[in-house]
Structure formats: structure tokens, C-alpha cells
Structure 1
């Protein structure tokens, strides 16, 4: 995959249909998660996406990044797919999805 500089991206313009993204309903997001096999009740190694977990917990990117102890830029990179998720992050997402209160208790100093 080619890496682009910020200047390259600005020159090319965006390809995201922001109106369509904003119009996406929670039901559509859930359906997409099922189709992408990111629902936690699917068999095998599937895991929920970072955005799915964050929406389920009703947290902002800043709040969930603080909860799990990572910079908000890291969480944004996970959500936007800029970096691949290593096994530890995938495990964290599954635990956040299934046992968010346990994570909250564990992360409180």
C-alpha cells in the first residue's frame, strides 16, 4: 500500500461521502458489523471493530482512548484502519465488547 503525505491527500481531495456517513443509522452499522464478521457472537477469531466497541459503550474517541490507556491518535488510527490490529488489541476489543465493566474496574488506578 502506498503511503501518501498530507499534501498529497489535500491535493487529491477526499473521497468520503460525509453526508452518507452521517446518514448511516445504528441499525445499518450493526448490519455492516455482522456482514464484516465483527460481531462478538460469531464463532471463530472474529472481534468487534474499534468503532463498534466505542459506539456500544457510548464513548467519544478521547474517552475510550483514556479508558484503555492509549493516545487518542492511536485509537483513531485503529478506527480508521490506518494500522493493523495486533492480537493484543483484538483481545482488548473482545473484552471491552463483552465485559466493559471489568475493563473499567481494572483500569481504575
Structure 2
């Protein structure tokens, strides 16, 4: 790979790179556009958490009721996680990660 050195002088605007953005698009972005994108990102994050919670439970071969009993969490909470209505946080998120990586040890420690 070839290395290219570029000297940038802030006093000379011609040496400043435009970057990898479309300035017209950035200038045309409204606060409503930003809020809409933030909402879409939040919804996608909830769906990712829902898929993760469902995948962990299914890898263990447990129903929602069995899973809730094993990890001592109400079955409604499991349903909310898997439907994307709520996202596991704190200790619940850590427990799901441990169940994903070392399920036998985690389940043994829980009982």
C-alpha cells in the first residue's frame, strides 16, 4: 500500500478536505429529521435486544415460562423483552450475556 502525506494549512481553505460528507445534505437536515432518525435508531436497538433475549432463551431450549422461572424474572418481563416493548438493562443484560456465553455454569449458579 502506498502512503501519501498531505500538508494541511488551516489558513488556506483550499488545503482543507471536504471530507466524506455531502455538505448540501448536512445543511438541509432539519431538527425533525434528526428526531426521526433518533427514534428509528432507538427502535432498532430495542429490536436487537429483543432478538438477543429470544435467541438466548431458545438456545437453552426453554419456553418463556420455564426461562422466567429459571432466572427468577416474571414471565411478563420476558415477553416484554422478546416483543421489544422493554429492553433488559443492568444486571438482567449481564445475566443474558453470561447465559449466552456460559449457559451451563450460569444455570448451575442460579439454582
Q: Which whole-Å CA distance do the structure 2 matches of 1:81 and 1:58 have between them?
A: 20
Quick one: which of 60, 66, 69 aligns to 2:69? 66
Task: Specify the alignment match of 1:100 in structure 2.
Answer: 103
Quick one: which of 53, 56, 63 aligns to 1:53? 56
Q: Which whole-Å CA distance do the structure 2 matches of 1:70 and 1:50 have between them?
A: 13
Q: Secondary structure at the match of 2:62?
A: coil
Task: Specify the alignment match of 1:85 in structure 2.
Answer: 88
Unaligned runs of 5+ in 1: 1-35, 39-47
Q: Secondary structure at the match of 1:49?
A: helix
How much is the aligned-residue C-alpha RMSD, in angstroms? 1.7
Q: Secondary structure at the match of 1:67?
A: helix
**Residue 102 of structure 1, CA deviation:** 1.1
TM-score by length of 1: 0.52
**Residue 73 of structure 1, CA deviation:** 0.7
Q: Secondary structure at the match of 1:93?
A: helix
TM-score by length of 2: 0.51
Task: Specify the alignment match of 2:42 in structure 1.
Answer: none
Structure 1 segments of 4 or more deviating over 6 A?
A: none
Unaligned runs of 5+ in 2: 1-47
Q: Which whole-Å CA distance do the structure 1 matches of 2:69 and 2:107 have between them?
A: 11
